[in-house]
Amino acid sequence: MKNKKGFIFVETIVVIAILSIALIFTYRAFHNVTNLSQRRSKWDDSVYLYRTYYIAEFFKGNGIIEAIVPDYHTEPISLSCDLIEEEDIINFCRDLIERLGVSIVSGKERIYLLPAEQNDDHHYKDNLETPTYIDIFSAREISYLRTTSGFSKFRIFIIFEDDSFASLRADYYELSG
């Protein structure tokens, strides 16, 4: 009888150990999914997509994008209020950027025009590995850009003060028309 009770006790300890290990792995997986979900909640939120659209339309309406697009290469181009010539519009631009919460680092707005050479996802994603992109964007921002679909001309990408970001696929013909 004693041995049988001891065997049941050891069996119970082994089962508890196995269940504990399984719970630890389940908790880690749940925690990783929750963290990923929280990080992605800052990607392409409808409020930030609207702000991105509004800023893109502002730059389009003032001829900035049309002036830049014909000369684009494969590197990101920073869009800035300084590209505007009229003082009143520059002040409006700065006010707009501030009110919409665009991130400003070293006096520069974090608004980018991301060009692509071809309508080819693979080529676009190869550009993300160049030193130019790595110097400008954080690993989280590059990770986001990898999730975006390819585009034939360019994408407008804006980083906001609360570390949210959004981008809009925008073809040259849509913006110049």
More confident residue, 114 or 67: 114
- At residue 173 the predicted structure's pLDDT band, cuts being 50, 70 and 90, is very low
Q: Please state the domain extents for the chain.
A: 1-41, 46-176
pLDDT digits (tens, 9 = 90+) for 6-64: 678 888 899 999 999 999 999 999 998 887 777 667 777 788 888 888 888 888 888 77
pTM: 0.67
In angstroms, the CA 49 to CA 164 distance is: 10
The answer to whether 120 and 151 have CB atoms below 8 angstroms apart is no
> Which residue in 174, 141, 160, 167 sits closest to 69, CA to CA?
174
- At residue 153 the predicted structure's pLDDT band, cuts being 50, 70 and 90, is low
Q: Is pLDDT of 162 > 50?
A: yes
In angstroms, the CA 105 to CA 31 distance is: 32
In angstroms, the CA 51 to CA 166 distance is: 9
Q: Is pLDDT of 174 > 70?
A: no
Provide φ and ψ at 175, rounded to 5°: -80, -30
pLDDT digits (tens, 9 = 90+) for 83-138: 888 888 888 888 988 888 888 887 788 888 877 654 444 556 667 777 778 888 88
Helix (H) or strand (E) holding 79: strand 77-79
The reported pLDDT for the residue numbered 20 is 95
The reported pLDDT for the residue numbered 5 is 62
The reported pLDDT for the residue numbered 176 is 44
How many residues are given for the chain? 177
The reported pLDDT for the residue numbered 65 is 74
The reported pLDDT for the residue numbered 15 is 93
